Amino acid sequence: MDRLAELRESQALTLRDLAERSGVDANTINQVELGHRKPRPSTLRKLAKALDVEVREFFEEPVPLAEAPKEAGPAQPPNSIEELLERRHARTRHLADPNLKATLDQRPLEDVLQIVREAREEIEVIGPEVAALAQLKDSLAAMRLYSEVSRQVWIVRFALPRRRGQKFVEGDLASPELEAEIDKTTRMFEESWATAGVV
């Protein structure tokens, strides 16, 4: 159901944003967008209400390219992760950091937790477009960008487990509460990139 993703993205909403607005689980929304799940009528009504559209709009065909305005031209893949994040109005830009691994290695654990949380939000925002890039196997630029995003995702994915047991505050090892927070944040990050279809 491509139109659902299109309508959601046109309002610069993440899967999580739409889930909160509609009361429909983010994983369900993602499965519907990818065509892996047929939505119930009640789910469609909730999503339509949250997007302020009519249910019928989910089934309308987009304007064919031949009828699209000539000045628009064909959609080009972004040239960089920065451009991709900008296009999707991401709040932060951690995935675009060319020195992300060094940044994560050098920052205090508290900062790393925050960066991982924010990178998770970035993935939710760009996930559908990244998944679409993976389908453009004939485009070298799309494959290059997909590989760059995947690399950054893996760097973030292992940032917290690599730091397990590290001193959090000088003299104190990570508390059980902090270890639980590391586990929770890592799990949420993994769910986000799996749901988004990244990597």
> Per-residue pLDDT tens for 37-87?
888 888 989 998 998 888 888 877 654 434 444 444 345 778 899 998 888
Whole-number Å distance between alpha carbons of 85 and 177 = 32
Orientation angle between helical segments 41-51 and 26-33, nearest 10 degrees: 100
C-alpha span between 197 and 132 (Å, rounded): 9
SS3 172: strand
Please compute the mean of the pLDDT values over residues 106-133 and round it to a whole number: 84
pLDDT, tens digit, 9 for 90 and up, residues 120-147: 888 888 888 887 877 887 888 888 888 8
Per-residue confidence (pLDDT) for residue 12, from 0 to 100: 81
Q: Do 43 and 111 belong together in one domain?
A: no
45 with 64, same domain: the answer is yes
Tell me what pLDDT residue 156 has: 84
- Judge if 189 and 111 occupy the same domain: yes
Do 92 and 119 share a structural domain? yes
Query: Domain tally for the chain?
Result: 2
Domain boundary among 39, 70, 101: 70
d(CA 117, CA 178): 14
Regarding whether 104 and 25 lie in a shared domain, the answer is: no
Residues 87 and 181 occupy one common structural domain: yes
| Same domain, yes or no: 191 and 104 | yes
Q: Is the pLDDT confidence value at 167 over 70?
A: no
Give the single-character DSSP code of 169. Answer: E
Check if the beta carbon of residue 50 is closer than 8 Å to that of residue 18. Answer: yes
Same domain, 9 and 57: yes
Q: Within this chain, do residues 84 and 60 fall inside the same structural domain, yes or no?
A: no
For the domain that residue 17 is a member of, what is the CATH number? 1.10.260.40
- The last residue of a domain, from among 32, 53, 70: 70
Which whole number is the average pLDDT over 181-192? 70
- pTM over 0.95? The answer is no
Please check whether residue 47 is in contact with residue 39, taking contact to mean a CB–CB distance below 8 angstroms.
yes
Average pLDDT score over the chain? 78
